[in-house]
Structure formats: structure tokens, C-alpha cells
Amino acid sequence: MSTLVELIALVKELPEKYLPEAIEKVREIKDRVDCEKENRVHDNNCPHCNSSRIVRNGHKRRKQAYLCRNCSKSFVVTTKSAIENSHCSTTVWKQVIKDTVAGVAIDKTAENLGLHHETVFNMRHKILYCLEQSLVAEPTTLTGTCETDETYVLESEKGRKFPENHNRKPRKHGAKASKPGISNEYVCVCASVTGTNEQFAVAINRASPDSQEILEVFGERVNEDTIILCDGKQSYNVLNDICTVAIAKRINKVNGFHSFIKEKLDDMRGVATIYLNRYNALFSKIYAADMSVVDDIYNLMTSANGFGNTIAYTQSEKLLNI
């Protein structure tokens, strides 16, 4: 069975008299898999002191626990990870990641997995936050010849109830800006695609970016060997002291990335602007990627990389405020 959703759907289709037996079989399979995992040699170091002198030390919340002989601290495989205190299984987390990559609605994921909407919402934003912070910690390096340009998406306050004195009326999905052309109703997303098929996208401001904003986005990502191909916008000249900036008639690679971003946002019926850079991190990760990206994201979330966070932190900190 390829996914948890398919397994649940299959069980639901069974006649009621077979349900207890089917559930028991699933539990037996799960217990056997968990046992096999626990019997494997733990290949991670201690998340507290990075020592490899660790031994198994019972269980904590149905997870294999370990004791470090170096610092005498106990831990489980998810300690100091993004899912440290989660009660959901690996299978559930991977299904939520898979649905996030595919752009499946949160309500649909919650229905398929038998979870509450808020639970899936919090899980999704832990995934997005982890991806964003991984790109902040290790910015994508623009090597060789890189196509660079901006695209514009309509600002959104999706999920928010407007007060009576708000500066604009709520929009319906698919609505247009009230002003023609590029205005402060649009959020600028700066993007670049390298010759080695690496890409990133960052929302930096409303309307067109100035030189300081271009430097803020690209300054730490380029070097003297980088060649930036752009459409001739004067703001990019600020990078001339760091790399080579050239004008190109065709920048199809980055335009393709722009189209991918807009298609994903449209499929999701838009995302709130405060979360836009989290989704940009997701789009940067999954563009032109295969389904192994689900395992890559899960491995990132379960590594002791310092990206762990509480639900309250995910909902309130490091949001896009422009």
C-alpha cells in the first residue's frame, strides 16, 4: 500500500464484521515495523553533546529512548527536531508532507487522516517553517549563469476577519486589484534559477524592489564567478561590485519558475501574505523535484538541526510583515 490514505480508504470499504480483524492486523504490522526499527543500531549522535557513545534506554511515549554515556542525558530520535513533541506517527507525518507538496487542501488531509483541521494546519506550518529556516541557515548559492527576475502576487489576508474600519473590503478568490498596473496591492517575489537547476524565491516588499532590497536578497548568494541574467532593471546594477550583471532577452527558466509559483498559489486558492515566504521555501524545494522530496523533507524535520519550534512560535514568529 503506497500511502496511509489508501490504507484507510481500503479499511473503510470492508464489511463491518471484518473491521476488528483488519484493525488488529494493521496493529500487528505496525508493532512489527516499530520493533524492527528499535532493533536497528541508532546511527545518530547525541543531540545534546554530539557524542556517539549512546545506548538504548527503554521507551518514552512509545518511542525508543537512548542514554548518552558522555553527558548522561536521555533522548529519543526526535529530540531537538521539528516534531519533538508530536504524537503523530512517521506514516502520518509523511502523508501530511506529501499532501503539502501536492497542494492538497488542509480540510481534505484532515478528513482523510481523521485529524482535526487545526492539527493539520499546525503540522503543515511546522513543515513550512522548517523549510524556510533551513534556507535561511544555508542560503542557495547562485553559481555560474543564473536567470533572475521578479514576479508579483496579490497581497492576501486569507483567514482573517476584517474589522469594520479596515483599509479595504474582503476579496473573493480570483479577484483583481483595485488599481491598474503594479501597485502596493502586490507583493514582489524575487526569484532566481541557476544553470544547475537550483532555485529560490523570496518576497521582499510591495511593488518594485529598489537597489537596497535587491542587495538584501541576492548579496549573500552571489560571488565573483556568478553571472546574473536579468531584464535590465536598474536596481540590479548594485550587484556589479560583487558579480557580473548582464541583460538577456530571454529568461525562460526563471519565468517557468514564476508560473509554477502562481499555479501552486492558485491551486491553494491563495495563501496569507504573512506566510508567503514559508510557501516560497516550499516551492523552491519542490520545483522540478521527484517524490523523494517527501523523504528529504521528513529527514530534515527529524534531524536535530535547531529548527524545532512550538505551535505558538510557528503561529507568531518570523512572519512576513510588509
Looking at residue 41, its pLDDT comes to 41
Residue 308, pLDDT above cutoff 90: no
pLDDT band at 7 (very low <50, low <70, confident <90, very high): low
Q: Do residues 264 and 103 lie in contact, with contact meaning Cβ atoms separated by under 8 Å?
A: yes
Q: Domain tally for the chain?
A: 1
Q: Is residue 282 part of a domain?
A: yes
Residue 305, pLDDT above cutoff 90: no
Q: Is residue 134 part of a domain?
A: no
Percent of the chain with pLDDT over 90: 35
Residue 162, pLDDT above cutoff 80: no
Task: Return the minimum-mean-pLDDT range out of 13-17, 157-161, 229-233.
Answer: 13-17
Q: Is residue 165 part of a domain?
A: yes
- At a CB cut-off of 8 Å and minimum separation 6, what does 44 contact? 77, 304
Residue 40, pLDDT above cutoff 50: no
Q: Is residue 19 part of a domain?
A: no
Q: Do residues 96 and 112 lie in contact, with contact meaning Cβ atoms separated by under 8 Å?
A: no
DSSP 77: T
pLDDT band at 159 (very low <50, low <70, confident <90, very high): confident
Q: Is residue 277 part of a domain?
A: yes
Q: Is residue 316 part of a domain?
A: no
Residue 26, pLDDT above cutoff 80: no
Task: Return the minimum-mean-pLDDT range out of 265-269, 294-298, 317-321.
Answer: 317-321
Q: Is residue 123 part of a domain?
A: no
- At a CB cut-off of 8 Å and minimum separation 6, what does 315 contact? 122, 125
Residue 36, pLDDT above cutoff 60: no
Residue 261, pLDDT above cutoff 70: yes
Residue 268: domain span = 140-290
Sheet holding 54-60, edge to edge: 54-60, 63-68, 74-76
- Give the CATH number of the domain where residue 178 resides: 3.30.420
Q: Is residue 272 part of a domain?
A: yes
Q: What is the C-alpha separation between 280 and 132, in angstroms, rounded?
A: 8
pTM of the model as a whole? 0.79
Q: What is the C-alpha separation between 265 and 268, in angstroms, rounded?
A: 5
Sheet holding 227-230, edge to edge: 199-206, 186-194, 145-154, 227-230, 244-247
